[in-house]
Chain A
Amino acid sequence: MVLFWFWAVAAMLTIYAVLDGFDIGAGIVHLFVARNDTERRLVLRSIGPVWDGNEVWLIAAGGTLFMAFPTLYASSFSGFYLPLSLVLWLLILRGIAIEFRSKIASPVWSPFWDVVFASASAGLAGFYGVAIGNVVRGVPLDQSGFFFLTLWTDFRVGGRVGILDWFTILVGLATFFAMAAHGSLWVALKTDGELETRCRQAANLLWWPVLLFTVLIPIVSPMVQPHLLDRIAHHPWGYIFPAFALAGLAGMRYFNRAQSAIQAFIASSLYVLGIATSTTFGLCPYVLPSTIDSRFSLSIANAAAPPSAQRIGFFWFIPGIILAFVYLRFGYRGFAGKVDVEGQGY
């Protein structure tokens, strides 16, 4: 049962990364690919009706994590107090920027929100990456089951660690570029003309740093978290997850150059999925490793909710999540095709 919840939360967070990943990515490249008011409206329209549904995956995953792993929820959220608060503020600013930007046509109102939208998106992508880096590296959990991390200490991965160190910053940059490329491919898919061309070019250009980090991070990660090597050595079938990521990476390049927008976007989704599942697989059965002693690490077993709560949750979760996919299908189907500037909207 507890393994079910582990993969359920991991799957929801992965879906969140794929879906909100593209609208955050669209925000990162917003100022570069869209040059005038019409194009910027088009970028917003390409994510407008779906961004808040995408964010629901974060809220639903958070709720499910709270229910199934209350100890992890309590420990990690209070330990990552400062970066999470920053993430909340960035989410607030970004959401408001999207919704407010096109409500008043004015040469001071819209450009202001464009910059807020782009910088909040960039900051979020970076912080999400840093968060993943922190979970992989581990945190100073002790026997109390709690910890607190300052934003930075000496930027080294050992001893008294902070949120930011060279490793977590690397993961942050990797996430930033991956989301930017993912978002460019989405906007390319939803628009046409010059905007589409510029998005394709952006995705082509961003592919190189994504490639660089995809090679670099697996090389340095085992130095930071030796458990990863152990895990893959004992379960060689796990190579399938990085293989997804590599296939996605190759597909992004190939299909984007072949101008097959849908396939290119699917490939970059596959890439995000591959990276997320590889990380989850590599850490399992830990959910938050301790840098002090592995006895203090939070694992699937010691972070889980009491048994009856897990069982009860299972009964409503399955029909609930099926319903969610049905709604999602309606939402996206009503939004099929390229966007234009006609009609009501952003």
Chain B
Amino acid sequence: MDALTVDRIQFAFTLVFHYLFPQLTMGLALLIVIFKTVALRTGKEHYNRAARFWARIFAVNFAMGVVTGIPMEFQFGTNWAGFSKAAGGVLGQTLAMEGIFSFFLESSFLGLFLFGERRLGPIAHWLSAFLVFLGSWLSGFFIIATNAWMQHPVGYQITPTGQIDLVSLWSLLTNPWLRWQYPHNMTASVITASVVMAATGAFYLLSNIHLDYARTFLRTGVIAGAIASCLMMYPLGDSQGRNVAQYQPVTFAAMEGLFHTERGAPLAILGQPDMQAQTLDNPLIVPNVLSFLTYRRWKAKVKGLDAFPRSEWPDNVPLLYYAYHNMVGLGTFFIAILLIAALALWPGWLYESRLLLWALMLLAPFPYIATTFGWMTAELGRQPWLIYGLMRTSQGASPSVSEGNALFTLIGFVGMYGVLSVLFLFLIYFEVQRGPAREAPFNGPVRNPN
């Protein structure tokens, strides 16, 4: 392994781990605002308690998101100095804006939201929940704007010293790539939060505990999740895919496993890319569908990998292909399960059906997996570029950091995040078991659940 490889593994590892937490908190912030709104309008304490329970889960995840997020910003400098030096004038903007516009908002009002309920009164408390939601969605926006620029750079010029100068903030914030990537990503985060909420409800019903809340969580999670996963397929996933086809056609060909340019290109559902023979082994394909989905014409020409020089191909085509297919496959699966669950909700069957409850409970980890595969698609698809068309990944790493030093910190991060995961899961299980009904007593130490 050389230093570049270690830098890449470390960034990928710390980023995937980090994003396990914000994807829940961003979606959950929305669902908490929904509970707070219902509580405000109906005056039912039930929904306030539900909001308080999810606020506790939110707080633990938020803390994990904050502490694992700081290394992401730092690593641009520590491991990717070549990249930072060249692109800081552009990407520093969105990162600084995230800190200044969203983190200050989020952190100031999160403190009030978590600990100020009695002091604030219902309306101000609702507002603080809303501002936490706004802050977290804004921070998502700035991060996606950063990534979108790396996928599709706009509004810049190159200076004589080789640095990249920003000439239009407006272009940076209205990047055509961002227009679909942002809602795509945020809807994914709503799916994660909805499925986690529904799974918690299912777990309560199957364990026969906290039954009132179980129904509320199931209902809210299933309905929000069903809506979000349908939106995810159309228009969001569809448009994001066509964005890739337009701006990164070689990435698109690799994602779809299309080796050869074709009129009436087929959609590959299953199959393994064979890089030697340049074919898809064991293909399960639907003729003409890829052409139709991409260009809305059954016989349209779709460029395959053979239309591009090999030096432009993503450096790991099979992994990219699998990441993309797993994301799409899981997304389709979510639509199926959540729609069935939503239909079973109306006659009230859902609360009785052990099969559906089990399915929903076991669904909990899968949105996280799908989101991770989605980001792998975006990041592997951008290769071999760090900034698409402008800077190769190999040019971005820190020239002064050796392989040995990079490996030292990679091992450190793996060890630390491993320990944190165990403690985190333990704590979350404890909070879920304790549930919404039994709140921490207002005076004295927290009681043990047993």
Interface code B299-332, partner A: CB below 8 Å = 1, 0 otherwise?
Answer: 0000000000000000000000000000000000
**B395 close to A (CB within 8 Å):** no
Do A330 and B109 touch (CB < 8 A)?
A: yes
Interface residues of A in 47-85 (CB under 8 A from B): 48-50, 52-53, 55-56, 58-71, 73-82, 84-85
Which of the 9-residue segments B75-83, B246-254, B382-390 touches chain A? B75-83
**What is the total number of residues of chain B having a CB less than 8 Å from a CB of chain A?**
85
**A219 close to B (CB within 8 Å):** no
Do B74 and A67 touch (CB < 8 A)?
A: no
Residues of A within 8 A of B104 (CB): 53, 56, 60, 323-324, 327-328
Q: Which residue of A lies closest to B410 (CB)?
A: A85
Q: A63-B100, A342-B442 are in contact. Are A85 and B78 (CB under 8 A)?
A: yes
Q: Which residue of B lies closest to A302 (CB)?
A: B161
**B116 close to A (CB within 8 Å):** yes
Do B107 and A88 touch (CB < 8 A)?
A: no
Report Cα–Cα, A147/B91, bound state, in Å. Answer: 23
Residues of A within 8 A of B110 (CB): 52
**A7 close to B (CB within 8 Å):** no
Q: Which residue of B lies closest to A309 (CB)?
A: B89
**B340 close to A (CB within 8 Å):** no
Do B88 and A312 touch (CB < 8 A)?
A: no
Interface code A332-346, partner B: CB below 8 Å = 1, 0 otherwise?
Answer: 001100000111110
Do B416 and A89 touch (CB < 8 A)?
A: yes
Residues of B within 8 A of A331 (CB): 107-109, 111-112
Do B100 and A324 touch (CB < 8 A)?
A: yes
Report Cα–Cα, A115/B73, bound state, in Å. Answer: 27
Q: A63-B95, A81-B78 are in contact. Are A74 and B85 (CB under 8 A)?
A: yes
**What is the total number of residues of chain A having a CB less than 8 Å from a CB of chain B?**
80
Interface code B94-125, partner A: CB below 8 Å = 1, 0 otherwise?
Answer: 01111111011101111110111111100000
Do A96 and B67 touch (CB < 8 A)?
A: yes
Residues of B within 8 A of A148 (CB): 400-402, 405
Interface code B419-450, partner A: CB below 8 Å = 1, 0 otherwise?
Answer: 01001000100110000000010111111100
Q: A74-B88, A334-B116, A342-B442 are in contact. Are A66 and B95 (CB under 8 A)?
A: yes
Q: Which residue of B lies closest to A67 (CB)?
A: B92
Do A84 and B96 touch (CB < 8 A)?
A: no
Do B100 and A81 touch (CB < 8 A)?
A: no
Do B59 and A99 touch (CB < 8 A)?
A: yes
Report Cα–Cα, A324/B408, bound state, in Å. Answer: 37
Do A317 and B66 touch (CB < 8 A)?
A: no
Interface residues of B in 200-258 (CB under 8 A from A): none
Do A96 and B64 touch (CB < 8 A)?
A: yes
Do B96 and A313 touch (CB < 8 A)?
A: yes
Do A91 and B118 touch (CB < 8 A)?
A: no
Do B100 and A321 touch (CB < 8 A)?
A: yes
Report Cα–Cα, A93/B442, bound state, in Å. Answer: 28
Do B108 and A75 touch (CB < 8 A)?
A: no
Report Cα–Cα, A316/B95, bound state, in Å. Answer: 13
Residues of A within 8 A of B77 (CB): 66, 73-74, 76-78, 84
Do B112 and A49 touch (CB < 8 A)?
A: yes
Report Cα–Cα, A310/B399, bound state, in Å. Answer: 26
Do A49 and B115 touch (CB < 8 A)?
A: yes
Residues of A within 8 A of B447 (CB): 105
Residues of A within 8 A of B98 (CB): 63
Q: Give the secondary structure class of B's interface.
A: helix
Do B402 and A66 touch (CB < 8 A)?
A: no
Which of the 9-residue segments B31-39, B165-173, B343-351, B357-365 touches chain A? B165-173
Do B111 and A50 touch (CB < 8 A)?
A: yes
Do B97 and A58 touch (CB < 8 A)?
A: no
Do A103 and B427 touch (CB < 8 A)?
A: yes
Residues of B within 8 A of A308 (CB): 89, 157, 165-167
Report Cα–Cα, A65/B89, bound state, in Å. Answer: 10
Query: Closest Cβ of chain A: how far from B436's Cβ, in Å?
Result: 13
Do B111 and A99 touch (CB < 8 A)?
A: no
**A95 close to B (CB within 8 Å):** yes
**B63 close to A (CB within 8 Å):** yes
Q: Give the contacting residue for B108; candidates A144, A312, A328; CB below 8 A.
A: A328
Q: A96-B64, A331-B112 are in contact. Are A320 and B100 (CB under 8 A)?
A: yes
Q: Give the contacting residue for B101; candidates A67, A77, A323, A342; CB below 8 A.
A: A323
Residues of A within 8 A of B85 (CB): 70-71, 73-75, 145
Interface code A165-195, partner B: CB below 8 Å = 1, 0 otherwise?
Answer: 0000000000000000000000000000000
Residues of A within 8 A of B112 (CB): 49, 330-331, 334
Residues of A within 8 A of B84 (CB): 66, 70, 73-74, 77
Report Cα–Cα, A18/B73, bound state, in Å. Answer: 22
Query: Closest Cβ of chain B: how far from A324's Cβ, in Å?
Result: 4
Do B412 and A89 touch (CB < 8 A)?
A: yes
Do B445 and A105 touch (CB < 8 A)?
A: yes
Query: Closest Cβ of chain A: how far from B165's Cβ, in Å?
Result: 3
Report Cα–Cα, A258/B307, bound state, in Å. Answer: 80
**B147 close to A (CB within 8 Å):** no
Q: A95-B66, A331-B112 are in contact. Are A344 and B440 (CB under 8 A)?
A: yes
Q: Which residue of B lies closest to A70 (CB)?
A: B88
**B261 close to A (CB within 8 Å):** no
Residues of B within 8 A of A342 (CB): 442-443
Q: Give the contacting residue for B401; candidates A49, A60, A78, A321; CB below 8 A.
A: A78
Interface residues of B in 160-187 (CB under 8 A from A): 163-169
**A237 close to B (CB within 8 Å):** no
**B71 close to A (CB within 8 Å):** yes
Do B73 and A95 touch (CB < 8 A)?
A: no
Q: Give the contacting residue for A316; candidates B79, B97, B168; CB below 8 A.
A: B97
Report Cα–Cα, A50/B108, bound state, in Å. Answer: 7
Do A106 and B409 touch (CB < 8 A)?
A: no
Do A59 and B103 touch (CB < 8 A)?
A: yes
Do A78 and B400 touch (CB < 8 A)?
A: yes
Residues of B within 8 A of A335 (CB): 111
Residues of A within 8 A of B60 (CB): 99-100, 103
Do B167 and A59 touch (CB < 8 A)?
A: no
Q: Give the contacting residue for B427; candidates A37, A61, A104, A306; CB below 8 A.
A: A104
Residues of A within 8 A of B87 (CB): 70
Report Cα–Cα, A345/B445, bound state, in Å. Answer: 11
Report Cα–Cα, A74/B398, bound state, in Å. Answer: 8
Residues of B within 8 A of A62 (CB): 73-74, 95, 99
- Pick 19 A–B contacts, CB within 8 A, sort by A: A37-B445, A49-B115, A63-B98, A63-B100, A64-B92, A66-B88, A70-B84, A71-B85, A77-B81, A78-B79, A93-B416, A95-B67, A96-B63, A106-B448, A148-B405, A306-B166, A308-B157, A312-B167, A312-B168
Given contacts A74-B84, A99-B59, A342-B442, 6 further A-B contacts (CB under 8 A): A53-B104, A59-B103, A148-B401, A309-B92, A310-B89, A334-B112
The 8 closest A-B pairs by CB, nearest first: A70-B88, A77-B77, A67-B92, A309-B89, A49-B111, A63-B96, A60-B99, A331-B108
